[in-house]
Structure 1
């Protein structure tokens, strides 16, 4: 299994409703992608204040394998949502942190 973690540092002028729409769109893509078995979106709730380095919201997607993850990455709808996410992030792509884990 591949756990695809994406953390976002949104621009301060991006309203919570826009953030929620982006995350909702990510969840809707997850519902139709083969091999995408779980989607979790939301705000960081860690009590370790300051450790998030401003990446206060994000999402985690679990894929059966790297092939399913790779199919998601090239999906046209994913790419459109990704472009909106980059546009809403502080400093564009620099405001997004992606980390994938191989889960046994």
Structure 2
């Protein structure tokens, strides 16, 4: 499985309702793209308080690297991605992406 982690520093003028609306658009991809297992999104509630301004984010889980690539190539995803960039502090500089292969250690 591939885990796609995205952390976002939204602009200070973005309300929680506006952020939720963007995340809701992202969730519309669930069930539509083969290999996309699930998306979890929201605001950090970490007791460690180490977000460094990245207070929102989402995680998307994919069957494999090909499914992640299909998500990247999808027009609806690209439209939501453009909204995230436009809403982030300093555009792309306000977004961190990290992709990792999740390996079942029980094997």
For the aligned pair, the TM-score class normalised by the smaller chain equals: over 0.9
The alignment's TM-score, normalised by the length of structure 1, stands at 0.96
Cα-to-partner distance string for 1:59-96 (whole Å, 9 max, x where unaligned): 00000000000000010000010000000000000000
1:41 aligns with 41
Larger radius of gyration: 2
| RMSD, aligned CA | 0.7
Q: Decide which structure has greater helix share.
A: 1
Which consecutive residues of structure 2, in runs of 5 or more, have no partner in the other structure? none
Matched, 1:65 2:79: no
Give the TM-score normalised by the residue count of structure 2.
0.93
CA distance in structure 1 between the partners assigned to 2:95 and 2:28 by the alignment = 20
Q: What stretches of structure 1 move > 6 A for 4+ residues in a row?
A: none
May I ask how many residue pairs the two structures share in their alignment?
103
- Give 1:103's aligned residue: 102
The answer for the alignment partner of 1:7 in structure 2 is 7
Unaligned ranges ≥5, structure 1: none
